[in-house]
Every structure is written in C-alpha cells, then in structure tokens.
C-alpha cells in the first residue's frame, strides 16, 4: 500500500477533571467549570486541526498498564462505563469508542515481527481506561474518528527509564512505519501529564481554582524546561534528559507515551506549538502540537 501519513502529533493529557469541568452528557458528575486554561488549550488544539483531514487517531495511554508486552484494543467497538478509581466523584463516563482494527492489527503485527511481545485485546467486556477516554473526549468530543489504542508496557517500573526508552523508541519507529505503509492519514497522541506530583487531599469543591497551583517550584522548573525544548524543536534533548525528568518530576512520561510520540514523529527538529499549560491537583499539564502537516508542506 504505502503513502500513509502522520498529519500531526500531540501531547494530550488526560486528568479526568477536564471532562468533569466540561459537563458533557456522557459524564455523571456535574461541575461549576474549572481548569479553563487547559480546556481552552484543547479548544485551540481542535481549532488548529479542524481543516486537516485524517482517518484515525493513534493513542498511547499510561493508564492501560500491561506488564507483559504491549497490548492493542482489537475489537471494532467498546462500550461501557469508565470510572476513575481515584476520582470516582469526578469521572463516571459512558463511552462508546470505535477502533480502527485494521491499523491496530498492522502495528501489532509489525511490533511482533520486530520481536516485541504483543497482544490484541479482544475481550468484549474489557473496560477501557480513563486516560484513553479523557484524551479521546477532549481531542474529539464528537467521537467521530476510529482509534488505535496502545497500552503502556510498564518497563520503567519493571526495569528502568532507560529500558523503557529503548522499547518505546523501537515501538515508535514501528508505529511510524506501519502508519506510512497503511495508506491512512493519522494523528498520534501521547496521553500524559508532565510533572505528576499530586496533592494528597482534595478541596471540598474540586473545581475551586483558588486552591490550584503547581506542587513545587522544582516541578514548575522541570515542566518549563521540557516545554522550552518542545517549542524550540529539541526533541533529542527531551529524550536525553528523560531519565532525570521522569525521576525528579515523578513525571507521567514513566509510561513511555512521550518517548513513543517523539519516536513516531521521527524525533522532530521543528518547533511544536504550545496550546495550553495548567496544573490539575498540583500536576503539570501541557497541550502541545507538532504540526507535521505544516512542516511537510513547507519542505515540499
Ligand atoms: O491521571 C491523572 C493525571 N495524570 C493527573 C492529575 C490528576 C488525575 O489523574
Ligand atoms: Fe494520569
């Protein structure tokens, strides 16, 4: 086949607070708003891609945690209730997600051929994790595109950040090749926060923004350093500093999504666009787009 294309790659974090604050009909709890800086950031991201045509969304979520290899959602549709185990007061979301099984199987097969342990998830009762659902909703509230959903193999925890990076760099190269060979136009999403130190208590009203701030100055400095590298096209430095960042900022990059994203994009040297930054219960979250479509048009 061939002629497939990655049209954009995004860092698209998934704190369930964002969906809670949007009050969509699928979510049971009701909020008085909150976290607007980030929700407006998602609006800007959606606006930026609204005229770009694509077939599917490929997403890696750190909350689908698999210890034996990388798994892929493998049925045409999953429909159920997703509840955040830590914030059931904020997130009880009735989802109905369509899967691009053809592309999912193609990436899974390519990973298996390269020697990575893989599995297609074909249990119809499988509950899709809230990271996938939150990022899916915030990126595409209409749910009108099929997804490929990739699990987070917990190699940081089983081994180290260095081992995780080796595996995710390889999975990214494989994902890229499989997309280009598929003939499809695709957006790739890494669903993770940056610094990830939570407060240990929640305010009486979770959406009370007078209580929201970064957990510590050190976390702020790490987040700004990473964002600066993204905005100045220094992806390789992000990869090089990932072990220190992940350990010192307790960053959610431990799940491998950010490394996988950069590898899938071919370790880009062009600047990414920051659509929004904000904290959620003390964690740092950035909405960032690598506008592959613009970069490739400029080269042509
Ligand atoms: O999963 C999350 C997260 N990554 C950050 C903040 C709050 C809740 O959930
Ligand atoms: Fe998370």
Q: What is the pLDDT of residues 214-268, one digit of tens each?
A: 999 999 999 999 999 999 999 999 999 999 999 999 999 999 999 999 999 999 9
Asked if residue 162 is part of any domain, the answer here is yes
Cβ count within 10 A of residue 158: 11
Alpha-carbon gap, residue 101 to 74, rounded angstroms: 6
How many folded domains does the chain comprise? 1
Asked if residue 277 is part of any domain, the answer here is yes
Asked if residue 299 is part of any domain, the answer here is no
**Which atom of ligand 1 is the closest one to the Cα of 193?**
4
- Assess whether the C-beta atom of 283 lies below 6 angstroms from ligand 1: yes
CA of 155 to the centre of ligand 1 (A): 20
CB 73 within 8 A of CB 64: no
Using pLDDT thresholds of 50, 70 and 90, give the confidence band for residue 297: low
Residues 6+ apart with CB under 8 A from 130: 14, 16, 63, 82, 83, 84, 91, 93
CA of 205 to the centre of ligand 1 (A): 17
Instruction: Name the nearest CA neighbour of 164 among 247, 279, 283.
Output: 247
Which residue do the tokens 């987040």 mark?
223
CA of 300 to the centre of ligand 2 (A): 38
Nearest CA to ligand 1 atom 9: 15
H/E segment holding residue 58:
strand 56-66
Residue 93 confidence (pLDDT): 98
Structural domain including 210 reads 5-294
Asked if residue 105 is part of any domain, the answer here is yes
Asked if residue 134 is part of any domain, the answer here is yes
Residue of 83, 136, 203, 281 to test ligand 1 pocket, by largest number of atoms within 8 Å of CB: 281
Asked if residue 300 is part of any domain, the answer here is no
- Assess whether the C-beta atom of 212 lies below 6 angstroms from ligand 1: no
Does pLDDT of 179 surpass 80?
yes
CATH number for the domain that contains residue 50: 3.40.830.10
How does DSSP assign 246-276, residue by residue? Answer: HHHTT-GGGGSHHHHHHHHTTS--SPPEEEE
Nearest CA to ligand 1 atom 3: 15
Q: What percent of the chain has pLDDT over 70?
A: 99
**Which atom of ligand 1 is the closest one to the Cα of 13?**
4
- Assess whether the C-beta atom of 281 lies below 6 angstroms from ligand 1: yes
Residue 2 confidence (pLDDT): 77
Asked if residue 186 is part of any domain, the answer here is yes
């Amino acid at each position: 086949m061939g002629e497939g294309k990655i049209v954009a790659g995004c860092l698209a974090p998934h704190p369930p607070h964002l969906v809670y604050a949007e009050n969509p009909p699928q979510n049971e709890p009701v909020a008085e708003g909150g976290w607007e800086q980030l929700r407006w950031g998602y609006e800007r991201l959606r606006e930026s891609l609204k005229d770009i045509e694509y077939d599917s969304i490929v997403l890696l979520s750190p909350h689908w945690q698999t210890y034996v290899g990388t798994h892929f959602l493998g049925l045409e549709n999953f429909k159920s209730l997703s509840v955040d185990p830590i914030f059931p007061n904020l997130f009880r979301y009735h989802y109905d997600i369509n899967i691009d099984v053809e592309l999912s199987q193609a990436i899974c097969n390519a990973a298996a051929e390269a020697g990575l342990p893989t599995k297609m998830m074909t249990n119809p009762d499988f509950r899709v994790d809230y990271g996938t659902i939150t990022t899916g909703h915030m990126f595409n509230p209409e749910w009108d595109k099929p997804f490929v959903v990739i699990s987070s193999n917990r190699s940081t925890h089983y081994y180290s950040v260095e081992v995780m990076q080796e595996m995710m760099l390889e999975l990214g190269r494989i994902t890229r090749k499989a997309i280009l060979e598929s003939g499809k136009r695709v957006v790739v999403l890494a669903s993770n926060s940056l610094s990830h130190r939570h407060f240990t208590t929640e305010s009486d009203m979770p959406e009370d923004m007078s209580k929201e701030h970064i957990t510590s100055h050190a976390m702020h400095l790490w987040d700004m350093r990473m964002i600066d590298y993204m905005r100045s096209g220094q992806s390789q430095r992000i990869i090089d500093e990932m072990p220190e960042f992940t350990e010192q900022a307790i960053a959610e990059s431990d799940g491998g999504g950010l490394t996988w994203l950069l590898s899938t994009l071919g370790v880009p040297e062009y600047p990414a666009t920051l659509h929004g930054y904000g904290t959620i219960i003390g964690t740092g979250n950035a909405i960032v787009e690598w506008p592959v479509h613009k970069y490739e048009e400029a080269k042509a």
